[in-house]
Structure 1
Amino acid sequence: MPNGDDSELVDRDVIEHPGSVGVLALDGEGRVLLLRQYRHPVGRYLWEAPAGLRDKAGEPLHVLAARELLEESGYRAGRWDVLVDLFPSSGMSDERTRIFLARDLVRVPDEEIDFERVHEEADMPVVWVPLAEAVRKALNGELHNMIAVTGVLAAHAASADGFAALRPVTAPED
């Protein structure tokens, strides 16, 4: 136990996870980008924010986030900030997630994207939802994905001061 008491042993199942990043993409009209993706473990389609695993050793997290945004949505961002850091399931996993806020978005022509979508990524429609509506959907239980819900609520909170309190992409993780 954390206090060093070895008088009682406690078993815990722990999932070791490489970590992940998420992207809350916000356009100039105050809309967030959401993707619809099938998730086998829950047996349903979910509205999600672009996201991916920390699967390339040494890759800066904002570079990974930019790659995931491009691959999953076809957009590039000119402005990146750290929105929030979290442990999504700290009772059973060591996964760390950093969610970025991406702004100044530009659509990239499909022929310039060097990525082939397969499996559940083959058919992921992209929609733009006003931030206020996305907040309503999160609070009404219409959004279930952790990165999307956390990103939407954090972006809404951060917008109160014009995003002035956000950290730069190079901010260290705690």
Structure 2
Amino acid sequence: MTAPHDTAEHWPVESARKVFQGVLVGVRRDTLAPATPGGEFFDREVVTHPGAVGVVAVDSAGRMLVIQQYRHAAKKRMVEIPAGLLDVEGEPAIEAARRELREEGLVEAARWTPLLTYQPSPGSSEEVVHVFLAEGLTEATLPVGFDAEHEEVSLTRSWVDVDELITAILAGQVQNGLTIAGSLAFSALRGAKHHLRAPCPT
């Protein structure tokens, strides 16, 4: 039996209009051609987004690095894996992940492997998130020129047992989607049926 997989498909867009553009995201209204002969044109509003990266950083004791950071839209200080936007033009996802791990986690990794790629809200957003597994960790200092600001100023870090984190996720106590996806993917890897993709070049 063939494994389930997404397939590329593109429905014709009659017109596209920018509705809003903010600092990080925008909204575009696409008018799509009828899906069937004789059907009506219809609109879909799409959130434009640069994409993001997340890092599942696991130390030699099998603990995962998490941060706690205030999220205004959620009105919560959330448990998260190190993550950030792909907001540097031309920067590959793996380099953004290395940068975010150092900036938010104060660690560097000797081994990097793609863990998963997913779209958190494909019905309304273009955002694509790339999650990497980082191993062989060593302490690092903040990059030269980096200054924490806004929510990052009160960011805290901790190392957690993976099973305890999964238990908290399943109990609804950890609700950040990227953290949930990355943690569950890593947990699944510990079974014999799943395999990582090829490691990233060092």
Rg larger in structure: 2
Superposed CA deviations along residues 135-157 of structure 1, whole A, max 9, x for unmatched, are 11111111111111111100011
Alpha carbons of 1:109 and 1:17: their partners in 2 closer, same or farther (altered >3 Å)? closer
1:98 paired residue number: 130
List alignment gaps of at least 5 residues for structure 2. Answer: 1-9, 12-33
Query: How far apart, CA to CA, are the structure 2 residues paired with 1:114 and 1:131?
Result: 33
2:166 paired residue number: 135
List alignment gaps of at least 5 residues for structure 1. Answer: none
User: Which contiguous aligned blocks of 4+ residues in structure 1 show a shift greater than 4 angstroms?
Assistant: none
Aligned positions of 1:103-118 closer than 5 A: 103-109=135-141, 114-118=145-149
Query: How far apart, CA to CA, are the structure 2 residues paired with 1:124 and 1:163?
Result: 33
**Is the 8 Å Cα contact of residues 113 and 196 (structure 2) preserved in structure 1?**
no
Aligned positions of 1:49-60 closer than 5 A: 49-60=81-92
Aligned residues: 169
**Is the 8 Å Cα contact of residues 75 and 107 (structure 1) preserved in structure 2?**
yes
1:30 paired residue number: 62
Alpha carbons of 1:63 and 1:26: their partners in 2 closer, same or farther (altered >3 Å)? same
1:69 paired residue number: 101
Query: How far apart, CA to CA, are the structure 1 residues paired with 2:35 and 2:113?
Result: 39
Select 1:160's aligned residue among 177, 181, 191: 191
SS in 1 for 2:137: strand
Give the number of the structure whose residues are more often strand, by fraction.
2
TM-score scaled by length of structure 1: 0.89
Superposed CA deviations along residues 111-141 of structure 1, whole A, max 9, x for unmatched, are x654211110001110111111111111111
Q: Higher relative contact order at CA 8 Å, sep ≥6: structure 1 or structure 2?
A: 1
How far the C-alpha of 1:89 sits from its partner, in A, is: 0.7
Give the number of the structure whose residues are more often helix, by fraction.
1
| Pairing 1:82–2:124 present | no
Query: How far apart, CA to CA, are the structure 2 residues paired with 1:161 and 1:80?
Result: 20
- Aligned-residue identity in percent: 37
Amino acid at match of 1:94: E
Alpha carbons of 1:135 and 1:57: their partners in 2 closer, same or farther (altered >3 Å)? same
Query: How far apart, CA to CA, are the structure 2 residues paired with 1:168 and 1:60?
Result: 15
Give the alignment's Cα RMSD to 1 decimal: 2.1
